[in-house]
Amino acid sequence: MNNYRNNSLIDNTIIKLICLVLSVAIACLSATLATKFMFSIGQDMGSPILMAALGLLLDLAKRQQAAKQIIKSQHTLSQIPILLTNIDELSNQQATFSGGESVVSKYGAVSCSNLS
C-alpha cells in the first residue's frame, strides 16, 4: 500500500504541474482573444485602446475568480495523503481482527474532523 501511495503522490504532483501549465496557457490565450475582440469593437466605435483595456480588465477579473477555484481544488488535492494514511491505518487494524470483527464494530464510526 505504501508503494501505491508514493506513486500516487508522484502522479498527483505531475498532474498539478500539468494543470498549472495549462491554466497559465489558457489564461494567456483568453486575455489575448478578449483584448483583440474588444479592440476590434473599439475600432468601430472610435476608441480601440479604451475597449481593448476594458476587455483585458474584464478578462483579468474573470481569471481571478478561476484562480480562487484552483486554490480550492489544490486544497482538496492536498487532503488526499491524509485520507490515504487513514485508509492504511484502518486496513492495518482490520487485518488484526478476527473473522467477525471490523473497525466499525470495534471502534464505531471514524471521525474525519482532522481533515479541515
Residue 49 pLDDT > 90: yes
pLDDT at 36 over 60: yes
**The model's pTM:** 0.49
**Per-residue confidence (pLDDT) for residue 114, from 0 to 100:** 52
CA angle 108/1/91 to nearest 5° reads 15
Q: Could you tell me the pLDDT band of residue 2, with boundaries at 50, 70 and 90?
A: low
- Distance CA(80)–CA(49), nearest Å, equals 47
Sign of CA dihedral 15, 21, 24, 27: negative
Task: Check whether 8 has a pLDDT greater than 60.
Answer: yes
Judged against a pLDDT cut of 80, whether residue 55 lies above it is answered with: yes
- Tell me the DSSP string of 30-66: HHHHHHHHHHHHHHHHT-HHHHHHHHHHHHHHHHHHH
Residue whose C-alpha cell is 488526499:
80
